[in-house]
């Protein structure tokens, strides 16, 4: 059996918390309590839980929904197509939707989520990712809010997984 590499800490949890608080301070003034924060399951859960609570500390109590998408499976590279496992729970027609995800890499997942929100009649779609990885080609749409520009390494922790493992690490680590 191949040895599993040891995760190397790139961003400790104290920095993660500082970045989430900074994102909330930027997002609170451009949203309202009717805004629907929509997490992309599964990886976005940890970030979305922290960001919505950081918004609440600033007096912004957004609504909450989820889209369950997947494109990586157990691999370290995108399959290049997005499988949609579950749609929004409630209608988003006429609402501002704030899509939240852990990482922006090829950009395909975020683009599919924006497409679904617009198809559902959202009045405005904002996007926020905790981490953005570099990519050689333009990606559309670029996220409206980015917490951290990550290096071009395979990331785990804070929701990011390898084959379903290591999502619960509180730090963001490289596994390569
Ligand atoms: O920009 P992209 O290349 O689309 O990559 C980003 C997406 O990849 C991961 O999801 P994944 O498909 O692995 O599902 P998961 O949320 O269950 O980890 C991650 O959570 C993002 O949603
Ligand atoms: O670096 C990554 N790690 C885990 N999941 C991912 N999905 C896209 N990029 C990554």
Confidence of residue 69 (pLDDT cuts 50, 70, 90): very high
φ and ψ at residue 153, rounded to 5 degrees: -135, 160
Confidence of residue 4 (pLDDT cuts 50, 70, 90): confident
Q: Cis ω on the peptide bond leading into residue 156 (within 30° of 0)? A: no
Catalytic residues: 105
Atom of ligand 2 nearest to the CA of 106: 8
33 is written with which tokens? 């309590």
Residue 101 belongs to what domain range?
14-151
Q: Looking at the 3D structure of the chain, how many domains does it have?
A: 1
* ipTM > 0.90, yes or no: yes
Is 3 contained in some domain?
no
Instruction: Evaluate: CB of 103 within 6 angstroms of ligand 1.
Output: yes
For residue 145, the domain's CATH number is 3.40.50.2020
φ and ψ at residue 22, rounded to 5 degrees: -65, -40
Is 139 contained in some domain?
yes
- Given CA atoms 28, 114, 100, 108 in this order, what sign does their dihedral have? negative
Minimum CA distance residue for ligand 1 atom 5: 105
**Res 3: pLDDT:** 67
Is 170 contained in some domain?
no
Average pLDDT taken over every residue of the chain: 96
Is 86 contained in some domain?
yes
Q: Is the pLDDT of residue 1 over 60?
A: no
Q: Mutate which of 130, 155, 161 to test ligand 2's pocket (most atoms within 8 Å of Cβ)?
A: 155
């Amino acid at each position: 059996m191949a040895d599993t590499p040891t995760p190397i800490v790139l961003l400790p949890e104290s920095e993660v918390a500082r970045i989430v608080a900074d994102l909330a301070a930027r997002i609170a003034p451009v949203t309202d309590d009717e805004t629907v924060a929509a997490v992309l399951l599964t990886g976005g859960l940890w970030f979305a839980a922290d960001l919505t609570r950081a918004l609440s500390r600033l007096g912004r109590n957004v609504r909450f929904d989820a889209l369950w998408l997947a494109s990586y499976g157990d691999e370290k590279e995108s399959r290049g197509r997005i499988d949609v496992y579950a749609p929004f729970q409630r209608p988003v027609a006429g609402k501002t939707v704030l899509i939240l995800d852990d990482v922006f890499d090829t950009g395909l997942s975020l683009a599919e989520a924006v497409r679904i929100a617009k198809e559902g009649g959202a009045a405005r779609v904002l996007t926020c990712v905790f981490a953005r990885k570099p990519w050689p080609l333009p990606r559309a749409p670029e996220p409206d809010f980015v917490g951290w520009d990550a290096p071009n390494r395979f990331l785990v922790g804070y929701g990011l997984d390898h084959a379903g493992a290591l999502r619960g690490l509180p730090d963001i680590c490289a596994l390569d």
